[in-house]
Each structure stands twice: as C-alpha cells, then as structure tokens.
Amino acid sequence: MSATPLLQVHDLETCYGDAQALFGASLTVAEGEFVTLLGRNGMGKTTTVRSTMGIIPPRQGRIVFAGQDITHLPSHQIARLGIGLVPEQRQVFANLTVYENLVATAHNRLNQREPWTLDRVYQLFPLLKERAGNLGANLSGGEQQMLAIGRALVTNPKLLILDEATEGLAPLIREEIWQCLTRLRQAGQTLVVVDKYVNRLVQIADRHLILERGSVAWQGTSAELDQDRSLWHRYLGV
C-alpha cells in the first residue's frame, strides 16, 4: 500500500436543506485497501458516499483523491478521475440488455495495465454472460447487483464504492457478492463498502469505520472490531 492515502476526507459537513447530516466526518483509504462504513440507518454512511462523489457537495470540509482536491468538482468529473460507484438501489439501465449496460460505460481512460473488460466481468460473474441478452428490468435483484458492479468495474476505477452492497439480497446471493469483493481485493482493487453484515465483513475487509450521528465514532482493523463485540451492540444494534 502507498504511503499517501488514495482517498482523504477531512471534516465533512453536509446538509440536506436545513438539516445537517454530517458533522466533521473524516476518513482515509489507502491504495489496495478494503474499508467498510458501518452504522445504524440514518447515521451518515450514504451521505458520506454521496458527498465524496460530488452528488451532494459538502458545506465544509475537504476531499482529496489521488492527490487532487475534488471537493467542489461535479460528480461526472470525479467519476472520470477514477472513482466508480455502485449506488443504493443499483440503478441499472432497465431498458438496456446486460451487454448494453456493460458496453455503455466501458472505458480504460486511466490506462490500467490489466483493464476490466467485458470478458473479465463475465469471468467474475458467469451468470451475466448467460443473461447477456436479457433486459436489466427482467433481472433478479442479485443479478442487477452483479450487473451494477460489472458496470462500475468496466470504467476501470482506482476506487470502487458500493453503497448498501447486499441490501435486500437472498443469503446465497449475498455470499456470492462477498466472494466477489474478496476476489477484487485480492486483485488489488481499492474498495469502500457500505453494508450491515458485520459478522461477514470482519472476515473479508481490512478496516472499518463506524458512523454515529454524522461523524466517525470508531475506526480500526477487522481483528479489533471482531474482538470488541460491545461496539457491535453499542453502534450497530447487533
């Protein structure tokens, strides 16, 4: 991992109208690291993701990605710099086929040495190859999530963010997504994942941040979080 973090988020304050959602949230993510954002509903996880992506610009604070200040950039420019997002609710193109969804976003603008191609995504998710001619609207929730991940990967991001990575998925499909994330980490992909299944995440992620009322209440390694189950009860309701 590089000495300088790939992503640095400093003291974010973000509001929805008059309602403040983030109160000085800060985090860093090193290149090649798998980091999770944990916390109960409404604690600021998705807002942190949206502010980082420029979807909801922060009122105060600073965001640096790959050495560049991206705090006030529009979301499409942030995506071009190398942040891929798998959003909450997946948001695949319902009226396009699986194949069309994937080729619509495919680009190696950062000239990655081993880029994510259509064939490589099909190797990661063989089911997508079988469903290549199916419309996005006709896929199951699990298939749509695989497609959303594949669609983000073919943009060849330096950082891949998944918001509510396994929300609403059946247990077997959740496990398939987690195994996919493990393979991505092994391949060197930097990951930030919002999810709630802490018992599984401590087995596959490097580090975790727990958000409470819009700020980071705790952060540490998987081993540290696994050992202190009082944190699970206090902050995660587990």
- 237 burial (CB, 10 Å; 0-12 / 13-18 / 19+) is exposed
Q: How far apart are CA 79 and CA 39, in angstroms?
A: 26
Q: How far apart are CA 107 and CA 116, in angstroms?
A: 9
Q: At residue 182, what is the residue type?
A: T
Q: How far apart are CA 122 and CA 150, in angstroms?
A: 8
Grouped pLDDT means (10 residues each) for the chain, 238 residues: 83 96 97 97 96 96 98 95 91 94 86 87 96 96 95 95 93 94 95 96 98 97 97 94
Q: Nearest-CA neighbor of 189 among 67, 11, 6, 55? A: 6
On whether the CB atoms of residues 23 and 213 are closer than 8 A, the answer is yes
Which pLDDT value is given to residue 1?
Answer: 46
Domains, the chain, ranges and CATH?
A: 1-82+204-238 (3.40.50.300)
